[in-house]
Structure 1
Amino acid sequence: MTSISRTSELPRVSTALLDAAPATDNRFPLVDEDTDQHRFRVHRSTMTSPEVFRAELDRVFSHSGLYVGHESEVSRPGDYVRRPIGGRPVFMVRGAKSGRINVFHNTCTHRGAVVCRQPTGNAKAFSCFYHAWTFDSEGRLMGIPDRDAYGGELDLAALSLRPVARVESYRGFVFASFDPDIQDLVSYLAGAVEYLDLVIDSTDGEMEIIKGVNEYCIEANWKLLAENSIDGYHAVSTHDTYFKYLLALGTDLAGGVNGTSYDLGNGHAVLEYRAPWGRPIAKWEPLFGEDSREEIARMRADLISRHGEVRGSRMADANRNLLIYPNLVVNDIMAITVRTFMPLAPDRMDVTAWELAPRDELAQLRQRRLDSFLTFLGPAGFATPDDLEALESCQQGFTSGGVEWNDISRGMARTPAANDEAQMRAFWRRWSQQMGTAGYGERESR
């Protein structure tokens, strides 16, 4: 039997769930794994506790690699995007002189106001609207009104914008960390590298984020979306309308979701499965249309010619839902979606999604790709409203009390299948490792 636990302590959890019944003096880990009994449980206070939420911002988001954006979003000198990561405002900008991608804390070194105020654009300089201190795209302080008031001792270099501690890019995906001692990005990504490569190599590395973004809020804990994004178990029941739609089109669903899940290390995980449902053409039909079978066959043959039968067919035929811990999802399905979710409170998150596509693809293919992006994964598509309803329903159910633990044991007694929960256990083991005893609480009385 193994049990995930630690010895150092943070303040005890205080939530409606734990306060609902008299407490005992027993202490317990919030993630409990018993391999002998094939049991894996997560305490529901992980989803409701303000103390756990505050500890996550410090222990998880301040010490993980966080996706900031894609290099294609800042392709020209001075291009920038403003993003919140880990509860902190930052902005990414391509330096006009160095050509380097910089990620800065979005705060003026004078009195703290936000410096980059627009979500995206191009700028030679960033001027704080409060007192008009001005910084260039390399972060250097370039101008101060009435500088003579400071005498001749003002150190402009010391008052430049502060870069985030670590910034690295992997094949266009830019990650930042507030931890200067975090491992290098390739080591951090671990097995997720293989799955990013499958996406990027399928177009010879020429990928770009399409302009435009989906943004919405979910009244649920952020970890529920981490679970949901790689959960094959819920597909048939939750997305019943979509499957009925496919049946109405004449799609053969007899094979179900055929695939498996993998623990990729460092909390990353993937769900990989054949398109509905095992037909080579099925993955691309929403993108190209049923009347484009010859073109699809040609493209598939080209991938296999360039990458070999095994790897080429994985690119062409298989779907992948990839979770890069803690809060980045890359869905390589009927469209390639890049999605992040930022915790705002124990029961609230902001979600942002972009579409990744081959650079310079034909206009008609780009239009179909965007249609696929919206039809299934958009805020009003087939899948996303279902998922939002399910996650918010879970969050509402947690407030009822009476049940302490979520069960995430499915598949522990066998080789994991696509509809098992091994991939979610990978996420929770990493979360528990980072959190230590954060959120230790008291059991409900029996």
Structure 2
Amino acid sequence: MAAVPNLQDAYYNELDQSQWGLTPVAQLDTYKGLIFATFDPAAPPLLDYLGPMAWYLDTLFDRREGGAEVLSGVHKWVVPCNWKFPAENFVGDAYHVQWSHLATLRTGFGITRGTTPGGGNVSPGNGHGMIAYAGHHTAEPLQILVDYEEDTREEFEARLGPRARMLNPIVGTVFPNFSVIKTNSHSLRVWHPKGPHSIEIWAWTFTDCAAPPEVKGALRKIAAYGFSPSGTFEQDDMDNWQNCTLTSRGVVARRQMLNYQMGLGHETWNPDYDALTSQYRFSDSNQRQFYRRWSQLMAAESWADL
């Protein structure tokens, strides 16, 4: 604690400031410029916790020489929903796009290259997951971003190896509450729970450090247009999340089962991707892994029990 208002008059100079500072985290580590912390001294080291998910973070934050940077500014806002709804949305829900975001898509907000998105859901373990396009498919709302993606593709593939030629990860969640999207926006965000029925979202826009100024300017623009408190995509999603939370609180609704069977039994371990992989781009595979990990953690007494 650095300072206390009215320390002498109100506390009579008797407050021991050294005993009332912030609670220090038990572990602090970084990966590709991202800062991770935990209050649990028994938690595994960061690289063990990330596991194969680390490579998927590389596809977002280490695509080019120099790594990634956050563009100035942060959006912070509160949504009346349970934190797991946005986390699972980003971990693997490609299915909702064609319905929830139909009005936005009809405006031509997303420019695509490639004959089909292809790809699928990949779950590298520990509840982490990503949605990935097939290697050369691109979806960006501005032509300048499509061109930049294509112009840097060769460097990206050379930097990250053969797997980068097979798939293009675009959105995902590091379990439990850190998510990132790199299509129709370049946004990383943390879902801060404020109880079971509310979250505070902190969202930043990121890009390659080596990206030219005009690309960075375009990303600032689509951050506001697409994924922000006033963004077209974000508003659709927030409506889903808060209404799912609201309806699930009902007496009858709480007795109902939720259906997560899409693609059940049709996911396989893909050694090329180092992840459990769905066979089709629409699947609940990642969501099942997300909630399986959540259930394991809720039931375990310690990390040794996992």
TM-score between both structures, scaled by the size of structure 2: 0.80
SS in structure 2 of the partner of residue 406 of structure 1: coil
Segments of 5+ residues of structure 1 without an aligned counterpart are 1-107, 109-125, 133-144, 439-446
Q: 1:298 to 1:400 in 2, by over 3 A?
A: closer
- The equivalent residue for 2:45 is 184
- 1:286: Cα distance to partner? 2.2
Kindly indicate whether residue 68 of structure 2 is the aligned counterpart of residue 207 of structure 1.
Answer: yes
- The equivalent residue for 1:168 is 29
Give aligned-pair identity as a percent.
23
- The equivalent residue for 2:144 is 288
Structure holding more helix per residue: 2
- 1:389: Cα distance to partner? 0.7
Counterparts of 1:104-143 in structure 2 under 5 Å? Answer: 108=1, 126-129=2-5, 131=7
- The equivalent residue for 1:424 is 287
- The equivalent residue for 2:229 is 379
- The equivalent residue for 2:100 is 238
- The equivalent residue for 2:125 is 265
Question: CA offsets per residue over residues 375-413 of structure 1, 9 Å max, x none?
Answer: 221222221100111111112222333242222121113
SS in structure 1 of the partner of residue 42 of structure 2: coil
- The equivalent residue for 1:412 is 264
Check conservation: 1:287, 1:369, Cα contact below 8 A.
no
Check conservation: 2:114, 2:136, Cα contact below 8 A.
no
Question: CA offsets per residue over residues 113-141 of structure 1, 9 Å max, x none?
Answer: xxxxxxxxxxxxx4344638xxxxxxxxx
- The equivalent residue for 1:83 is none
Distance 2:184 2:34 in 1: 21
TM-score between both structures, scaled by the size of structure 1: 0.57
Distance 2:153 2:114 in 1: 22
Is the radius of gyration larger for structure 1 or structure 2? 1
Q: 1:299 to 1:268 in 2, by over 3 A?
A: closer
SS in structure 2 of the partner of residue 350 of structure 1: strand
- The equivalent residue for 2:245 is 395
Distance 1:435 1:289 in 2: 42
SS in structure 1 of the partner of residue 188 of structure 2: strand
Check conservation: 1:300, 1:313, Cα contact below 8 A.
no
- 1:222: Cα distance to partner? 0.9
- 1:193: Cα distance to partner? 0.4
Distance 1:209 1:418 in 2: 29
Counterparts of 1:24-423 in structure 2 under 5 Å? Answer: 108=1, 126-129=2-5, 131=7, 162-229=23-90, 230-246=92-108, 255=116, 257-274=117-134, 280=137, 282-283=138-139, 286=142, 288=144, 293=147, 297-307=150-160, 310-311=163-164, 314=167, 318-359=168-209, 361-403=211-253, 404=255, 405-415=257-267, 416=278, 417-423=280-286
Distance 1:182 1:312 in 2: 34
- 1:182: Cα distance to partner? 0.9
- 1:224: Cα distance to partner? 1.1
Pairwise CA RMSD: 3.2
Aligned residues: 285
- 1:309: Cα distance to partner? 5.9
- 1:332: Cα distance to partner? 2.2
